[in-house]
Amino acid sequence: MSAAGVAQEHGHEQEHAQGAHGHHEQSFIQKYVFSTDHKMIGKQFLFTTLLMLMLGGALALGVRWQLAFPWTSMPIFGPLFANAGGQISPEFYTMLFTMHATVMIFLVIIPVLAGAFGNFLIPLMIGADDMAFPVLNMLSYWFMIPAIACFGMSFYFGGAASGWTSYAVLADLRAAAPGSGSAQTMWLMGVTFVGVSSMMGSVNYMTTIINMRAPGMTLFRMPLTIWAMLITAILQAFALPVLTAAGFMQLFDRLAFGGWLEGIHTVFFIPAGLVVNNTDPTVGGGQPLLWQHLFWFYSHPAVYIMLLPAMGMTSDMLACMCRKPIFGYKPMVYSMSAIAGLGFIVWGHHMFTSGMNPALGMTFMVSTVMIALPSAVKVFNWIGTIWGGRLQFNTVTLHCIAFVSMFIVGGLSGIFMAAVPVDIYIHDTYIIVAHFHYVVFGTTMFGVFGAIQFWFPKMFGRKMNETVGKWHFLLTYIGFNGAFFPMHMLGIAGFPRRYADPYVHPYLEHLLPLNQFITISAMIMGFAQFLLLGNFLISIFRGEKTGRNPWNSNGLEWAAPSPPGHGNFDVPPVCFRGPYEYSNPNRANQDFWMQTDPTRNPKNPPEAPAHGHS
């Protein structure tokens, strides 16, 4: 046993000598712009998505302003609008919520998880020096730029206004939404570019995780973050082509070519005989519901693409903060896989009232209800992880706990809408809006905020400010719940989503004060994000300097320098155990046991202290 240990130690030393990386000088452009280094690409994604978060938030406040103070001029942003008096017109309102969701989903949540954290963490956590295909990786970031440009042009042309779901026929027929002509087309192009970007990332992540793990990093020694990234990449690879194809179909439905190209005009989603806005009746034989099926076949798995990586990261952070192994590591892996598998057969729950065959409603109800099970198992395991831990309330911990607490709400509200008869009433009301904000913001974004502060030292070699971090958390948490919990009640009261002025309906008039409360909460939450942004930017230059392993954590990434240089590890890492050996009683003088620590004899303290004391 100990002989083996010595041999290992020996090998380690040898590798150390080889590990000194050959340095080749890089130009500024190579290093910061067209970088092929996964860490730089991750940071590029992170900066871009944080910027987009602020933009998406501003759009949301526009929506909220109109619901709280209908038809009054909005401060700050109002004067920017072309509309007289800064008033939000119904067309503009429709554009606002469409672009809000588009920016948040396609330019914030999906790229911040897979793009920023997937890129930064995957090679570091599995002990690789970079991604399998660095150039492809670089392209996956640079394909976001035309996507952003397309969405920007969409704004310029008046804004897409068919919701982020872009339902046919509204999104298919130019006449159906006057002014959306080129805007909707640009929107589709933007989504396609995002899809290409995600696909390039996804191929890269799968290859890297499967092929480039450090010696000893078996599948069941992978941190849950890596499992989540792998499962997400698989989900994306299988679901995304459907959306891309559907996007092109809708694009061809919209394009009205002339001349010899006229034959290209398709009618995939357009039935015959529709008279839209007094134009000629449509000719066709298409089926609008086909769009919904194709869209949700991607977009339901996509909601898990928006969640699983955050689940993985929170699991890792929570174990470290509680100084305790994750409770039920394998059940966590299996439940994530179950979520991914079931995620492919539940898309119809978005279409219960759509007019599809009612027998499908029943099957989709059963599968949807069952997907709540792995979600519940994960919640129980997170609570189990905290149970018996030794925990300190720092910013990271707070965000992890918020993650669990908010996910309980979002998961439970899902059950109401999974029950078809109940969904008849609540579909397309504000309770749906409450549900998905509890999962996408309350869960994913709190996880991301925690992850930013947790891995910040690895990214920049410094820590973010704790006090500012706690204020940001406090205000965001209060603002978030103030804004989104009452939305459940709006939904029960029958308040439909996507209404520019709900108060023209007498049964909704009395809900104005509640909406004002919601808007004020949302503003608190919105302004709190400046604390995050400021803390983030200032800490890059002013934050307290940290060593390699400031959190006394176990993962391979903490064995690399902070920030890791080109090629990541000065000592090529070897993995000796799973990532959750916290508080192992066989370890004498520390309550963590790094995956790279070669100590074999459990009763003895490590001969040479492993890197890690900060």
Span 130-189, contacts to another protein by CB under 8 A: 161-163, 165, 167-170, 173, 176-177
Which residues, 6 or more positions from 327, have their beta carbon under 8 angstroms from its beta carbon? 381, 382, 383, 384, 385, 387
In the list 43, 254, 349, 378, the residue contacting ligand HEM (rule: CB under 6 A) is 349
Q: Where are the alpha helices (DSSP H) in 103-142?
A: 110, 119-126, 134-142
Cβ burial of 547 (10 Å; 0-12, 13-18, 19+) is middle
In the list 136, 153, 369, 520, the residue contacting another protein (rule: CB under 8 A) is 369
Nearest distance from C-beta of residue 343 to Cu ion, angstroms = 8
Would you say 229 and 201 are in contact if contact means Cβ atoms under 8 Å apart?
Answer: no
Virtual torsion, Cα 486, 489, 491, 492, nearest 10 deg: 170
Binding partner at 384 among ligand HEM, another protein, Cu ion, none, C-beta below 5 to 8 Å by kind: another protein
Total binding residues toward another protein, as defined by CB under 8 A: 113
Q: Which residues pair with 462 in a beta bridge?
A: 545
Q: In whole angstroms, give the CA distance from residue 585 to residue 595.
A: 16
Query: What string marks each residue from 542 to 581 as x (binds another protein by CB under 8 A) or -?
Result: --------------------------------------x-
**Which residue type is seen at 454?**
F
**Max CA separation in the chain (angstroms):** 86
- Residue 216 sits in the site that holds another protein (CB under 8 A): no
Q: Among residue numbers 227 through 256, which ones bind another protein (CB under 8 A)? A: none
In the list 427, 458, 472, 488, the residue contacting ligand HEM (rule: CB under 6 A) is 427
Q: What is the DSSP letter of 610?
A: P
The upper half-sphere exposure of residue 94, i.e. CA atoms within 13 Å in the direction of its Cβ, equals 19
Q: Among residue numbers 156 through 175, which ones bind ligand HEM (CB under 6 A)? A: 165
Looking at the Cβ atoms of 130 and 423, the one nearer to another protein is 423
- Residue 418 sits in the site that holds ligand HEM (CB under 6 A): yes
- Residue 435 sits in the site that holds Cu ion (CB under 5 A): no
In the list 22, 258, 263, 358, the residue contacting another protein (rule: CB under 8 A) is 358
Three-state DSSP at 23 gives coil
- Residue 439 sits in the site that holds ligand HEM (CB under 6 A): yes
In the list 414, 550, 564, 579, the residue contacting ligand HEM (rule: CB under 6 A) is 414
Q: Among residue numbers 291 through 350, which ones bind another protein (CB under 8 A)? A: 322-329, 331
In the list 39, 213, 221, 300, the residue contacting Cu ion (rule: CB under 5 A) is 300
Nearest distance from C-beta of residue 306 to ligand HEM, angstroms = 5
Q: In whole angstroms, give the CA distance from residue 343 to residue 231.
A: 12
The upper half-sphere exposure of residue 587, i.e. CA atoms within 13 Å in the direction of its Cβ, equals 16
Q: Among residue numbers 97 through 126, which ones bind another protein (CB under 8 A)? A: none
- Residue 368 sits in the site that holds ligand HEM (CB under 6 A): yes
Which of these, 216, 35, 38, 210, lies nearest to 121 by C-alpha position?
38
- Residue 372 sits in the site that holds ligand HEM (CB under 6 A): yes
Structure token digits, residue 154: 């969409």
Three-state DSSP at 80 gives helix
Interface residues with ligand HEM (CB under 6 A) are 165, 303, 306-307, 349-350, 368, 371-372, 375, 411, 414-415, 417-418, 423, 427, 432, 435-436, 439-440, 444
